[in-house]
């Protein structure tokens, strides 16, 4: 499965408007190549360069998880000054619809997805101050 954005290319810089320094909007994402049998998608955004840094979106865009800022939904890049951080947007095609409440944590989503992932795609962007 391929995950892309019109806002930035793989390995490119995430524009300020999609960060905590700008409008803090979720970047536009598109995907293709979902396998037959896909019933839903889950999207997890991670910042592996920070001790915390996760945003979770569950099936059909209807349910959003809690980010590591303690809020529901997208919380854009807001790294400390210094070296840019890497942000991985990971999309999972699932053979089921997850039965999780809004505000589910990354750990809850990953546990619920176990054994149901048909395919995955990834897009990495960088952001620094």
**Does residue 121 carry a pLDDT above 80?**
yes
d(CA 23, CA 45): 18
Q: Is residue 61 assigned to a domain? A: yes
Q: Is residue 14 assigned to a domain? A: yes
Q: Is residue 84 assigned to a domain? A: yes
Q: Is residue 10 assigned to a domain? A: yes
Helix (H) or strand (E) holding 112: helix 106-113
**Does residue 54 carry a pLDDT above 60?**
yes
Answer left, alpha or beta for residue 37, where phi above 0 means left and psi between -120 and 50 means alpha.
left
Query: What is the average pLDDT value for the chain, to the nearest integer?
Result: 90
Region 96-112: what's the mean pLDDT?
90
Straight-line distance from the first to the last Cα atom of the chain, in angstroms, rounded to the nearest whole number: 31
Please write the tens of the pLDDT for every residue from 69-103. Answer: 888 888 889 999 999 999 999 999 999 999 888 88
| CATH number of the domain where residue 17 is located | 3.90.280.10
List the structure tokens of 58: 């569950």
pLDDT reported for residue 79: 93
Give the domain range for residue 31: 1-35+51-94
Closest CA to 30 of 4, 64, 55: 4
Q: Is residue 70 assigned to a domain? A: yes
Region 51-58: what's the mean pLDDT?
68
pLDDT reported for residue 32: 97
Q: Is residue 24 assigned to a domain? A: yes
Q: Is residue 3 assigned to a domain? A: yes
Backbone angles phi, psi at 107, to 5 degrees: -65, -40
Number of compact structural domains in the chain: 1
pTM score of the predicted model: 0.90
Q: Is residue 55 assigned to a domain? A: yes
pLDDT reported for residue 94: 96
pLDDT reported for residue 91: 96
In 3-state terms, what secondary structure has residue 17?
A: helix
pLDDT reported for residue 59: 55
Sign of the CA dihedral with 63 first, then 68, 71, and 74 last: negative
pLDDT reported for residue 72: 83
């Amino acid at each position: 499965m391929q995950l892309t954005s019109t806002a930035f290319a793989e390995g490119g810089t995430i524009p300020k408007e999609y960060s905590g320094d700008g409008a803090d909007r979720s970047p536009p994402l598109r995907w293709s190549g979902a396998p037959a049998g896909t019933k839903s998608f889950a999207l997890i955004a991670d910042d592996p360069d920070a001790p915390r840094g996760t945003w979770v979106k569950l099936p059909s865009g209807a349910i959003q998880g809690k980010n590591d800022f303690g809020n529901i939904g997208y919380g854009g890049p807001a790294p400390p000054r210094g070296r840019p951080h890497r942000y991985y947007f990971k999309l999972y095609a699932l053979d089921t619809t997850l039965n999780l409440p809004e505000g589910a944590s990354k750990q809850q989503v990953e546990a619920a997805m176990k054994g149901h992932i048909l395919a995955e795609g990834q897009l990495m962007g960088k952001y620094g101050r």
